[in-house]
Amino acid sequence: MLVTYDPLMVSASVLVAILASFTGLRLASGLRYLDTPGRKLQIVKAAVALGGGIWSMHFVGMLAVQLPVAKSYDALYTLGSVLIAILLTGLSFYLIHFGERNFLRIIGAGVLTGLGIVAMHYVGMAAIKGNCIVTYSATGIFLSTAISILSSIGAFTLAYFKRSLLQLAMGSVVLGITISSMHYSAMLFTRFMPVEDLVEIATPLISDGYLALFVAVAAFLLCGLFLYTAFPLEDIWVQEAAPSSPRQPQNGDAAGNIMAGTDGPDQRAERLPYELNKTTYFMDVDDIFSVQAQGHYTVLFDGQDSHFCPWPISRVETALQGKKFLRTHRSHIVNLKHASAFQKKKDKGFLVLPGLPETFIPVSRSHVAQVRKALGV
C-alpha cells in the first residue's frame, strides 16, 4: 500500500521528542543535592516526561502516516507502550543516579533507554487495527535497534560528561533525534498490506490532524510544568555558586553545631547553613551579602563565593527578620549594609554589591520605593 506522511506532523513529532528529552535530562540534573525520597520523586518525573515524550513522538508520528484505508488503535496496546517507555527510562535514570556514576552505568542507561524506545515503538505498532496487515523486516528491526541504543548511549554521554546547559541541550537534541530516527527508520522497513475482507471502522470524533495537535500541545504543557519544578542545573552551582574550595568554618563552627535560634522555621537565626561535598557548614548572617532563590533552595553570596543553602527563600527571609536584610525581588534578598550603590535604569532598579566583578541585584518595581527609603535616597 502507498504510504505518505504529513510533513507538519513529522516536524511536530521531532520537536516533541527533543523537548521531552531536554525535560527528562533537565529534571535529572542536580539530584545529588537531594535526599533519597526527593531524588526518587525527581526520577519519577523525569521518567514520565521522557517516557511520555517518547510515546507522544511515536503517536504523533503515526498520525502523520496517511494510508488509503481507515485505521484505529487498540487502547490496551497503546497504554502498554506508554508504560514500557516510562518504566525503562525510569530504570535508566535510577541506574545513573543511585550508586557511583561511571561510564559503564551511562552505557547501561543508554542501552535501557534504547530498548525502551524500540519496545515502545513495536508495541505501539501492534495497537494498529484496521483494514491492513502490518509486516516488519529483520533488517528494519536490527537497524532501528542499533540506531536507538548507540545514539542513546551517545546522548547520555553528552548530557552527563559535563553538567552544563550546553552539554544538556546537545544531549537532548541527540536523544530527540535518536527517538525520531529510530521511529522513521523502523517505518521505512514496515509494510502495510491490504486485506481482502474489509471491516467497518467507525469514523473518529477527532481528525488525525487535531488529535496530533492535541497530543503535541499536551506534551509541551507537561514538559513546561515539569521544567518549572526542576532543580537548578549543576553547572549553575559549579560556575556561579560553588566555590573553588570550601569556605572554612569560623569562630569554632562545625558541621554538627546547632545554629542559634533555628530550632524551627519561624525563629530567627544568627547563622544559615550551606552545603558542600556532603558537609554542612554555617555562615554568620553578617557575612552574607545576598540570597538568591534557586527553585526550592537558595544560594548565599558572601562577596567572593556563592554557597548552596538547602533552605527555601521563604524560610531564609523569616530567619533574617530584624536584620539589615531587605527583599528586593521575589528571588532576591540583600544585606543593605553591603550595598555599595543603587542604579535606576528606566523602570528597573539594581542594587550593586562590591566584588570582582560587581554584582547587580535586581529590584522589582514593587520594591523600588521601599529600597530607596531604606537607603535614604
Convert the pLDDT of each residue in 285-338 to its tens digit.
Answer: 889 999 988 877 899 988 888 888 989 888 898 888 877 888 888 889 999 888
Q: What angle is formed at CA 302 by the lines to CA 298 and CA 30, rounded to 5 degrees?
A: 35
Given the C-alpha cell 530584624, which residue does it identify?
322
Q: Answer positive or negative: Cα dihedral of 57, 59, 62, 66.
A: negative
Q: Which amino acid is at 366?
A: S
Q: Are residues 193 and 308 located together in one domain of the fold?
A: no
What pLDDT, in 10s, does the model give residues 34-83?
667 777 888 898 899 988 888 888 888 888 888 777 777 888 988 898 89
262 and 299 housed in the same domain:
yes
Distance CA 139, CA 190 (A): 10
Whose cell is 506532523? That residue is: 9
Residue 356: predicted pLDDT: 55
The residue from 237, 252, 274 where one domain ends is: 237
- The string of DSSP letters for 328-342 reads EETTEEEEGGG--EE
What local confidence, expressed as pLDDT, does residue 300 receive?
Answer: 92
| Residue 260 reports pLDDT greater than 90 | no
3-state secondary structure of 168: helix
Is the domain of 150 the same as that of 250?
no
The three grid cell numbers given for residue 166, joined into one nine-digit string:
550546553
Residue found by looking up cell 514520565 in the block: 48
Q: Residue 352: how many CA atoms within 13 Å on its side-chain side?
A: 11
Check: CB of residue 271 under 8 Å from CB of residue 253: yes
114 and 205 assigned to the same domain: yes
Q: Is 114 in the same domain as 184?
A: yes
**How many domains does the chain fold into?**
2
* CB contact at 8 A, 190 and 61: no
**Quick one: cell of 159?**
548530557
* Locus of grid cell 485505521: 71
Q: Cα angle vertex 43, ends 40, 48, to 5°?
A: 130
**Which of 179, 212, 237 finishes a domain?**
237
Q: What would the pLDDT profile of 196-234 be if each residue is shown by its tens digit?
A: 765 666 555 666 667 778 888 888 888 888 887 775 554
CA dihedral 135, 141, 144, 149 (to 10 degrees): 140
pLDDT for the residue 34: 66
Sign of CA dihedral 171, 173, 179, 181: negative
CA distance 14 to 350: 41
Q: Summarize pLDDT for 126-152 with one digit per residue, the tens.
A: 888 877 788 888 998 999 899 989 988
Is 225 in the same domain as 304?
no
- Looking at the structure, tell me whether residues 353 and 272 fall in a common domain: yes
Spatial separation of the C-alpha atoms in residues 259 and 183, rounded to whole Å:
56
Strands (E), the chain: 4-5, 65-66, 71-73, 128-130, 132-136, 190-194, 271-276, 279-284, 290-294, 297-301, 306-309, 325-329, 332-335, 341-345, 348-353, 359-363
My answer on whether omega of the bond before 357 falls inside 30° of 0, hence cis, is yes
Residue 186 is part of which domain span? 4-237
pLDDT value of residue 213: 80
Q: Are residues 57 and 148 in the same domain?
A: yes
Q: How many residues make up the chain in this entry?
A: 377
Cell for 189? 522497513
Query: 329 — phi, psi (to 5°)?
Result: -160, 160
CATH number at residue 295: 2.40.50.1020
Q: What does 29-81 look like in DSSP terms, one character per residue?
A: TTGGGS-HHHHHHHHHHHHHHHHHHHHHHHHHHHHTEE-SS-EEE-HHHHHHH
* Same domain (yes/no): 223, 341: no
